[in-house]
A and B are shown apart, each in its own frame.
Chain A
Amino acid sequence: MAYTVRVQRKKIHPHKFNMWVAIAAIVMMFGGLTSAYVVMHGQTRWVSFQLPHQFIFSTIVILLSSLTMALAVKSFRQHHMNRYKMLITITAALGVIFMISQFMGFRFLYAHGVNLTFNVSASLLFIITGLHMLHVLGGVIALLVMFFRAFRTRIRSYDPVPVEVAATYWHFVDILWIYLFGFFIWMR
């Protein structure tokens, strides 16, 4: 049996690897959308507008959530399950706050007459940030699942793989947002 274990030895856990490939795919999607933004930006009917200040707040929030996520992974590895549960809850909550503040940003824009059909510039902003929010939502759901798992299991399983996969994803949506935000500021 030792033999079988040896031949199936992997450099990196397949689920982690899957996550990296999935991240590559998501990057391509946002790459496509931001290139569309660049292309359309050159057009004469492009109308610029001020980005909502709420986005700055949401940037801080998502950066914080990355921090709590990293701490959560750390406490999981040290088997501090209570701290882990708390940190994961905070991370998920920060994710929700991020989404709310993005929504506030949209509300702000709407109040100033910048809506989905205002101009291609606004439509792209809404769709790109909206899709990003959807990805954050996916992460929040994953975190909630893990949160409940942490409670449910009587048998202590200290397999860090799911936590690490989730953390990778969470840091990714964080970095993705930083990229998008920087992109919007730069391209405006």
Chain B
Amino acid sequence: MSSEVYTGQAQRAAVAAVAVHDGDGHAHHHHQSFITKYIFSQDHKVISKQFLITGMIWAIIGGFFSVIFRLQLGFPDKSFPFLETIFGHWAAGGHISPELYYQLVTMHGTIMIFFVLTAGLSGTFANLLIPLQLGARDMASPFLNMLSYWFFFVASIIMLISLFLKTGPSEAGWTAYPPLSALHEASEGSKAGMDLWLISMAVFVVSQLLAGLNYISTILNMRTKGMSMTRMPLTIWALFFTAVLGVLSFPVLLSGFILLLFDRNLGTSFYLSDIYIAGHALPNQGGSPILYEHLFWFLGHPEVYIVMLPGMGITSELLATHSRKPIFGYLAMVGSLFAIASLSFLVWAHHMFVSGMNPFLGAFFVLFTLLIAVPSSVKVFNWLATLWKGNIQYTVPALFAIGFVSLFISGGLTGIWLGNSALDLHLHDTYFVIAHFHLVMGIAAFFGMFAGVYHWFPKMFGRFMNNTLGYIHFWVTFIGAYLMFWPMHYEGLAGMPRRYYEYSADALAVYHRFQGLNEFISVVAIIVFAVQLMFVFNFFYSIFKGRPVKDPNPWKANTLEWTTPIHVGHGNWPGEIPEVHRWAYDYSKNGIDFIPQTVPVSPAEEEVAEPVKTPQ
């Protein structure tokens, strides 16, 4: 981390500049103790690292859980004594119990979606890049920004504690549908584990709101001179829409959770009606689980874009930089982000086609769901056009960005199937869905994250990550992703249901023919997981021992973050903040390899090459 600070004159200038830069003059730019510098830091760059490292820890836990339940699916007859060592009576005889299976699936989904790809992904890159790429000293409110991390941390601790309860963590799936989630009697995981899950998620929502409002207000208000909205790097645009989605949809989820907490603990009946448990009628009257589904998926669908959009932004940026070409169709990229973000609020009920919702309503949701294909195709087209005839540098970040495009295409196409309610009746809750969303969202978003980490690691730590390990990481993960999830389409088409512990009962015996395939998938999953551990090793090793960065702009990129010193101090730029004169994608223009945003437009430059000229 930034061990050296600017010296003498420069430092004083920086501090002074910081003090004027907004009326409330943050007092924290003075001398800092270890605690204020690395723990309760208000510096966006440190907070970014905190999000990243917490997210990585969660990713290891969430990934490990998938390995465990894949062992069950792949080898239902084998016994793994080490499981008993870890999970005790939950895995007596080296077999995980059905309850534990479902708890692992739930935790895997919750962790991956919320803790890794929501908090970890946007938390890292929004914090790192928004001020650096826009030319701001810090976030609009560094204090709230710090709080957003610490709320995330508290949510993490609560979720972690739930793993160690005697009755185990929640087992209601990451969507926590009632009545399973609403009745303590429903299952082991519906006891305290479910309450902790809800409380943790409520704290998590607060964290996301604090984070989001800071991102939005920083992007709209703190851009440096010349950085008009239409000159912003696409990563920032993507993070902006991500934040807007979060701020508008998480509160609805929160209200759904509050009602659920009341149903669980205070006897209300929002989601419950006419339920019998062990022959006894419950007193609940008048509620409806479909209400929960509406409230949940009003977040749930935008949530998949909260997970996707940062990866889209990072990919756009890296494809241009690493193919030394201007991004193709900048305004179309922004427009399609906007279209995707807006439409994502209108499609939530495509998750509810089989819930007993009015089928005529379904038609509306089919229409809007399929409409999202249009802006998505625009993005894909523009990415491919950016790469077309480019001077592509196959660096590790570039490969991950290209991998993102590949996964987005192959996973996105099956979304068109699922978006048709008639097809979804068959495919709903089968492995087809698992295959679809893992490719398009799960793994693709991870690819965006990896691309970003490899690309901005030099900025974050002043060193490079090891390249060879990076290439191994990419190829094994990329090929492995297809080997794991492609076959699941076939299983799903054949009707193999998801969230099942075993396919041995007579009615399910028809899926025995997939046993070999399941075994194969599980083996690949273990290999892929192992390679992620190698990435983690590479990451931490390189923080301390990686090749040091010599050139402040190692990728020859145009954006502002590369105009800071190699080790960025608090306040980001010693002295004045650079002024911006052009968009971020002047690569290979007039025979010049790259022209940073800070370079004034020369009279000789063909103005036509500048797509947007808005005076700030």
Contacts and interface: CB of A to CB of B under 8 A. Distances in A.
Main secondary structure of the interface of B (DSSP, over half): helix
A123 interface: yes
Given A14-B140, A36-B291, A4 B216 contact: no
6 contacts: A4-B21, A6-B225, A15-B141, A25-B213, A120-B287, A161-B24
A32 B213 contact: no
Given A24-B248, A36-B295, 19 more contacts: A6-B225, A7-B224, A8-B22, A10-B22, A11-B221, A14-B22, A14-B140, A15-B140, A17-B216, A17-B221, A24-B247, A25-B213, A25-B250, A30-B255, A120-B269, A120-B286, A123-B270, A127-B259, A127-B268
B255 A29 contact: yes
Contacts of B258: 127, 131
Contacts of A46: 286
B76 interface: no
Contacts of B577: 4, 7-8
Interface in A121-142: 123-124, 127, 131
Nearest to A6: B225
B543 interface: no
Given A5-B20, A25-B248, A18 B286 contact: no
Interface string A94-129: 000000000000000000000011011001100100
A28 interface: yes
Contacts of A32: 251-252, 255-256, 295, 298
A40 B214 contact: no
A152 interface: no
Nearest to A12: B221
A178 B209 CA distance: 25
Interface string B577-608: 10100000000000000000000000000000
Contact of A40 (B144, B222, B266, B286): B286
Interface of B: 16-17, 20-24, 135-137, 140-141, 144, 209, 212-214, 216-218, 220-222, 224-225, 247-252, 254-256, 258-259, 262, 266-270, 273, 283, 285-288, 291, 294-295, 298, 576-577, 579
Interface residues of A, number: 44
B249 A28 contact: yes
A51 interface: no
Given A32-B295, A117-B268, A45 B209 contact: no
A40 B291 contact: yes
Given A7-B135, A17-B140, A25-B248, A45 B579 contact: no
B274 to A, nearest CB: 10
Contacts of B16: 1
Most B CB within 10 A of own CB, among A6, A13, A28: A28
A8 B286 CA distance: 55
A152 to B, nearest CB: 17
B165 to A, nearest CB: 27
Interface of A: 1, 3-8, 10-15, 17-18, 21-22, 24-26, 28-33, 35-36, 39-40, 43, 45-47, 116-117, 119-120, 123-124, 127, 131, 159, 161
Contacts of A47: 286
B190 to A, nearest CB: 20
A161 B22 CA distance: 12
B221 A14 contact: yes
Contact of A21 (B23, B247, B259, B298): B247
Contacts of B248: 24-25, 28
A45 B20 contact: no
A47 B135 CA distance: 57
B576 A4 contact: yes
A76 to B, nearest CB: 16
Most B CB within 10 A of own CB, among A15, A25, A26, A46: A25
Contacts of A1: 16-17, 20
Contacts of B212: 21, 25
B410 to A, nearest CB: 34
Nearest to A16: B217
A28 B141 CA distance: 22
